Structure 1
Amino acid sequence: MPVRAKHRRMKTNVITRGMIAAGTGGIALALPLVSATGASAATPAQAPQVAKTAHTAVVPNVQLVTYKVVAGDTLSKVAQKYPKSGGWKKLYTANRAVIGDNPALIRPGLKLTVGTKSLGSTTVRTTAKTTATATAAVAKSKVTTATQASVKSYSNNLDGWIKQSLDVMAKAGIPGSYDGIYRNVMRESSGNPNAINNWDSNAAAGIPSKGLLQVIDPTFQAYHVSGTSMNIYDPVANITAACNYAAKTYGSIDNVNGAY
């Protein structure tokens, strides 16, 4: 892009008071002695202590039961044999992969998982720890999650480049719309960020137009937007600089409908 007209497209206290005697030339004066004692005495702040609570739980040891279908069996009959199965519907849901789509058809020899049997139990002792530190850790985790969520990501394609450029432009106060950028990009470079025009007057002058919006080096340097790459071929930097130039020259990239 020339500084004005430009380029062609490239298709590519509890206090206790005591008494203390003070000597004053042989006269004893009773002076109150003030000392800080008790629950309201000033004491340094102490770090919160860890509170540990022990819990025990009995966890049953169970094992899946496999039932082999025999002639005359139905899901209802099998469910009656194993009441803990929850009825034939749950039995079917749990075994649909082997039964198929018709719950009325279960073939002899088919192996069904019908429930569990107890093998005793195990007592598990756990300790729950609650501290101010733990609370702070939770708060920190929430802040971290919120921060991560606030980091916007962009796809590495024309759509993502335009959207990222628009966000940069919004912060810099540069006008322009998605449609205006897209229209001009497709005319100038067909969406190729590495496009270069080696045949027009700018090229003949040794400053060929480059990138998505075919910007020449002097224009890119003059209208480069802080925070973007200094590489003229960088898609976001190229778009943003071109839109900055177009805003100063034409009011907005949206007003550009031809060579600029």
Structure 2
Amino acid sequence: MRPGILIISHGSRDAAWVSLVDEAVEHAKLPEGIPAEVVFLEIVEGRLIQDGIDRLEAKGVTDLFVIPFFVSDGSTHVDEIAYALGAKAAASFDTDLQPFRVQARVWFGEPMDVDPIEMSQIVMERSRELLRGRKLEETVLMLVAHGSDHPLFYDRWVGGLQRVAVRIQREMNYAAVDTGLLLPEQLYDKIIKWQTETDYTVMVVPLFLSSGYFTNRVIPNRIGQAVCVYDGQALLPHPLVSRWLSRQVHQVMQRR
């Protein structure tokens, strides 16, 4: 067996977004001597998924350990990538993504919210910064994420958010840790509900890999005139993301 590591993220036209992904991988503790490629589903020319597969197989890789560098198992991209790599027999929805040319055996990992140890710690750290003297028992922490209108993927998004929420509430004892998705639109109504029914402060923390269009524009627009605390910080850059990558690589390589 000649192993290779393929780390897949979404991709962006924003070079800074791509750099944050690269830096997170650079600081991860990957196994020495094993070739690795950081690739993207779209946009980043020369670093698409097929490019990475071709480069690794050209080095003689026979076993491809794939890390879906995405926030949630609810992402349709994670599902379609697994299908296109041959890690599952069929996609769970109609996808235009064609199967990749891959000769190596594929071992497919899990995104961040399946076992959200590091994600939860990052969110707790972000929330402490937002507290600024406020009392935990008088504060609602609202976790906001992308979500999906597809019932299967909606349930996965909700499940992942709940795993994070339970970990945080167990350690920090907020008045509540609530969740709000952008698809379907929940955020504004949930903030307003807390405002009208309680005197609690609502703090909104986004569960997005990197700051960008959604954290800087979409979420503020959805918040609208609702009163809350929000600073738009995403998961990157944070060293715990690199620790998650290290742990996920180790776990998926143990499955062979």
- Could you tell me the TM-score, scaled by structure 2's length? 0.18
Q: Greater helix percent: which structure?
A: 2
- Could you tell me the TM-score, scaled by structure 1's length? 0.18
Structure possessing the higher radius of gyration over alpha carbons: 1
